[in-house]
Structure 1
Amino acid sequence: MIGGSPEQVERQLEDWARQAEQKAERYQEMSAAVSAVSATESSPDGVVRVTVNASGAVSALELTDRIREQTGQAVAAQIMATIQKAQARLAGQVQAAMQATIAGEQSTIESVVSSYEQRFPEPVGPPAGEGPGFKRIGELEDETPPSPPVERRQPQRRPIEEDDDFGGGSVLS
């Protein structure tokens, strides 16, 4: 609370202004540190490598030549799962950057980190690429099971009519 003699009030206002200026500088440092955050993840088989920036956008994507051994659907699944894994790592990195710059502002840190956790949750479900068409390196494809035999029908003969001129024989004989 501000009060006292005019000199004390002036000193208190100067202290308050200096503290506000220092806090603003710390928040600018924190903002720069958070903006510099990025996360890189690789798919389990190492075929896909993704880097995301602090906003979760993909900033780098690397694919090895082994990607050709997979179906388009499997490649897409691996890329998406790897992006999600990288994005999920952002919350921890943002928290570390904020702790290093504004450690005393725990409620602010928790609020920002919670926002990241909500936007970029940990991936759930099978690991990247383990969907239809996915083959692990060295995995042999199962032989296609034989298809059931096709029932072939014999052509039906036309019934012989008694009053036929040919007597059941061929016309050509």
Structure 2
Amino acid sequence: MISQDPLKAAEELEKWAQGLEQRAQQYNELQDRLNATTARATSPDGAVAVTVDSNGVPTELKLNEQARGMDPARVSELLMSCLRQAQAQLRSEVTELVQSTVPGEDAPALNIIAQYESRFPAAETTEPSAPSAPPADDDEDWGNQSFMR
């Protein structure tokens, strides 16, 4: 509540305005730092690596010599696993960044963290499984043909 005394009211409003300006500077700094944030994950065997930007979008996919001759399904599985790991790392980095840059109890700060938590699940704790065997050939496999004639 603003004081009835005009001088005190002016001081309170000035202090409030300074607080808003400081908060705006903190959020501008946060935005700059978020824009520069990336995360990278590499498969345990080093065959593939994925880098994501601050939105979790892949910006770099690397395949090294170990990926040459590897089953394409396995390469795909490793890429997707690395993507999820990089996004989970991004989630963690953004949470730390928000908490260290702006007041953690601010609704906008909590909203940023919640958005990353909902978009990117926690990191996987297991390595991707080995590729599964192809499905057995049975009577219901239509191959690349339609069952409708």
TM-score by length of 2: 0.78
2:68 match: secondary structure: helix
Structure 2 unaligned runs (5+)?
134-149
Percent identical pairs in the alignment equals: 32
- Superposition pairs of residues 94-133 of structure 1, within 5 angstroms: 94-105=94-105, 108-122=108-122, 127-128=127-128, 130-132=130-132
Q: Indicate how the Cα distance of structure 1 residues 103 and 125 shifts in structure 2: closer, same or farther if over 3 A, else same.
A: closer
Instruction: Give, as a single letter, the amino acid of the residue that structure 2 aligns with 1:24.
Output: A
Instruction: Give, as a single letter, the amino acid of the residue that structure 1 aligns with 2:97.
Output: A
Structure 1 unaligned runs (5+)?
134-173
Does the 8 A contact of 1:50 with 1:61 survive in 2? yes
Following TM superposition, the consecutive aligned residue runs of length 4 or more in structure 1 with deviations greater than 4 angstroms are 123-126
Does the 8 A contact of 1:81 with 1:123 survive in 2? no
What residue in structure 1 maps to residue 147 of structure 2?
A: none
Structure with greater helix share of residues: 2
| Higher Cα Rg, which structure | 1
Instruction: Give, as a single letter, the amino acid of the residue that structure 1 aligns with 2:22.
Output: Q
Q: CA RMSD in A?
A: 2.2
What displacement does 1:35 show? 2.1
Q: Indicate how the Cα distance of structure 1 residues 85 and 54 shifts in structure 2: closer, same or farther if over 3 A, else same.
A: same
1:82 match: secondary structure: helix
Q: Indicate how the Cα distance of structure 1 residues 12 and 59 shifts in structure 2: closer, same or farther if over 3 A, else same.
A: same
Does the 8 A contact of 1:41 with 1:86 survive in 2? yes
Q: Indicate how the Cα distance of structure 1 residues 10 and 35 shifts in structure 2: closer, same or farther if over 3 A, else same.
A: same
What residue in structure 2 maps to residue 88 of structure 1?
A: 88
What residue in structure 1 maps to residue 44 of structure 2?
A: 44
